[in-house]
Amino acid sequence: MDIAINTSHSKYQVDKNGYYGRFGGAYIPEMLYPNVEELQQQYLSILSDPAFQQEFEALLHDYVGRPSPLYFAKRLSEKYNAQIYLKREDLNHTGAHKVNNTIGQILLAKRLGKKRIIAETGAGQHGVATATVCALMGLECVVYMGSIDIERQAPNVARMKMLGATVIPATSGSKTLKDATNEAIRDWINNPTDTHYILGTAAGPHPYPDMVARLQSVISEEIKKQLFAKTGDAHPDYVVACIGGGSNAAGAFFHYLDAEDVKLVAVEAGGKGVHSGFSAATTQLGKIGIIHASKTLLMQTEDGQIVEPHSISAGLDYPGIGPMHAHLYESGRAMFLDATDDEALAAAYELSKLEGIIPAMESAHALAKLKDLPLNAADVVVVCLSGRGDKDLDTYIRHMNK
């Protein structure tokens, strides 16, 4: 497997200073410098080491169950008058794309000699994926999760605990993903030598956005092969993915970034409507600034205070996007849309009834925009079905009875 090491020629990839255009960098306090510097120095050589790649590939194959299927969704295709394929990240072990990244980072953490793992989580998928790989490797695991998310994603909290992780509620600010990430960063400051922070999305200080994108790039690597096998053309007309911090989108877009014939569509969480005051549509509402040590687009007040976002989906309830995506937005390479809570719920019900697949609330945002794309019958569309909906059953049941 090739985790996309030789990509520095692309104008959409990170440059040698850790920037995508004017976005990126590492705006860290000095206390984090040694850890982040170590990662910056080492991640590329570790990721490109054949022994690492072999181990990574074997675990993705035997443990995660990759390659994940690329499924032609016949009834969905009929409904939207296009050729729609679902990249089934929901069928991965632990139920989402998040595990691709955690497998990679736990192998990296071992090579760095770290004994203790920390993570943030929103929907709990990244927390579960981290707890899982920590169990697999016998490492201590601490997961920070916003106290609101602990309530709305209860099954995942139980799973993390069963896997042996300690789940610590983040009770500051909006009590969601942003605050869980703050707490994880503070933990890392307080544990400067033995701890690796497995950040779960393509955000945070360099090298995380690039490292996570590379580890997730297996998604588009497989799509290319699978689509070629099915249609004779590795390039679809559209790749559609939801975007919280941007890791599943980064993985699904990765090998298509320079293929300008492939339209990239990123779907943000519109919440109750972009201008309702309850939204997480960062590109619509955000300005350039610094969030979680990255210079990127984020939702902020006139005074530069970070705004508390809203989304029905815990995994998209984040007031920023990763710097790669900020650059894809600003350069016009990707199209950014947003789906409201209600549109996402409707899309989740629709996929369940048409295809027998209950998607994660996050992934449902991507599906919700099929209706807004200018599709022709011959258009090939790949939707990244980033996760399964088990964790969201409470939310789904509540809205079913409405």
Partner 1 sequence: MQNRIDQLFAKKQHGILNIYCTAGFPQLNDTLPVMTALQQHGADIIELGMPFSDPLADGPVIQNSGTIALQNGMSLRVLFEQLQHFRERIHIPVILMGYLNPVLLYGVEAFVKKCAETGIDGIILPDLPMAEYEEVYKPIFEKYNVHLIFLVTPETSDARLRKLDSLSKGFLYAVSSSSTTGKDKDINMQQSYFERLQQMKLSNPVLIGFNIRDKASFDAAAQYANGAIIGTAFIRAIENSKNIDETVRTFIATIK
Residue nearest to ligand PLP (CB): 387
Which residues in 192-221 contact partner 1 (CB under 8 A)?
Answer: 192-193
For residue 291, the tally of other CB atoms under 10 A from its CB is 25
CA distances (Å), origin 132, targets 13, 111, 246, 328: 30, 18, 21, 32
Query: Cα 39 to the chain's mean position, in Å?
Result: 20
Distance CA 70, CA 355 (A): 14
Distance CA 242, CA 365 (A): 6
Distance CA 340, CA 279 (A): 8
For residue 284 the two structure tokens come to 């619509």
* CB environment 114-151: b (16+ within 10 A), e (fewer): bebbbbbbbbbbbbbbbbbbbeeeebebbbbbbebbbe
Could you say which of 120, 183, 355, 362 is catalytic? 120
Instruction: List interacting residues with ligand PLP (CB under 6 A).
Output: 96, 98, 122-123, 125-126, 201, 242-249, 315-316, 360, 362-363, 386-387
Site membership for partner 1, residue 277 (CB under 8 A): no
Amino acid at 365: H
Q: Which does 401 bind (CB under 5 to 8 A by kind): partner 1, ligand PLP, none?
A: none
Sheet holding 23-24, edge to edge: 19-20, 23-24, 294-298, 287-291
Q: Which is nearer to ligand PLP, 126 or 178 (CB)?
A: 126
Site membership for partner 1, residue 290 (CB under 8 A): yes
Could you say which of 98, 175, 178, 224 is catalytic? 98
Q: Which does 123 bind (CB under 5 to 8 A by kind): ligand PLP, partner 1, none?
A: ligand PLP
Q: Considering only residues 175, 178, 214, 365, which one is a binding residue for partner 1 as defined by CB under 8 A?
A: 178
For residue 235 the two structure tokens come to 């390039």
Could you say which of 77, 220, 313, 386 is catalytic? 386
Query: What phi and psi values does residue 21 have, to the nearest 5 degrees?
Result: 60, -125
Active site residue 386: yes
CB of residue 246 to ligand PLP, shortest distance in Å? 5
Which residues in 330-389 contact partner 1 (CB under 8 A)?
Answer: none
Distance CA 182, CA 198 (A): 13
- Asked if residue 280 lies in contact with residue 307, where contact means CB atoms within 8 angstroms, the answer is no
Q: Which does 26 bind (CB under 5 to 8 A by kind): partner 1, ligand PLP, none?
A: partner 1
Q: Compute how many residues bind partner 1; rule: CB under 8 A.
A: 32
CB of residue 303 to partner 1, shortest distance in Å? 4
CB of residue 386 to ligand PLP, shortest distance in Å? 3
The closest of 177, 175, 52 to 119, measured between CA atoms, is 177
Distance CA 131, CA 400 (A): 31
Site membership for partner 1, residue 142 (CB under 8 A): no
Q: Which does 185 bind (CB under 5 to 8 A by kind): ligand PLP, partner 1, none?
A: partner 1
Q: Which does 363 bind (CB under 5 to 8 A by kind): ligand PLP, partner 1, none?
A: ligand PLP
- 3-class SS of residue 121: strand
CB of residue 216 to partner 1, shortest distance in Å? 25
CB of residue 31 to partner 1, shortest distance in Å? 5
Q: Which is nearer to ligand PLP, 248 or 300 (CB)?
A: 248
Q: Considering only residues 5, 22, 31, 81, which one is a binding residue for partner 1 as defined by CB under 8 A?
A: 31
3-class SS shares of the chain: helix, strand, coil, % to 5:
45, 20, 35
Q: Which does 28 bind (CB under 5 to 8 A by kind): partner 1, ligand PLP, none?
A: partner 1
Distance CA 148, CA 125 (A): 15
Q: Which is nearer to partner 1, 6 or 301 (CB)?
A: 301
Question: Which DSSP symbol is given to 255?
Answer: G
Q: Which does 338 bind (CB under 5 to 8 A by kind): ligand PLP, partner 1, none?
A: none
Site membership for partner 1, residue 33 (CB under 8 A): yes
For residue 49, the tally of other CB atoms under 10 A from its CB is 14
Active site residue 221: no
Q: Considering only residues 2, 34, 61, 151, which one is a binding residue for partner 1 as defined by CB under 8 A?
A: 34
How far apart, in Å, do the first and last CA atoms of the chain sit?
Answer: 47
Catalytic residue list: 98, 120, 386
Task: Give the residues lining the site for partner 1 (CB under 8 A).
Answer: 25-31, 33-34, 172-173, 178, 182, 185-186, 189-190, 192-193, 287-293, 300, 302-306
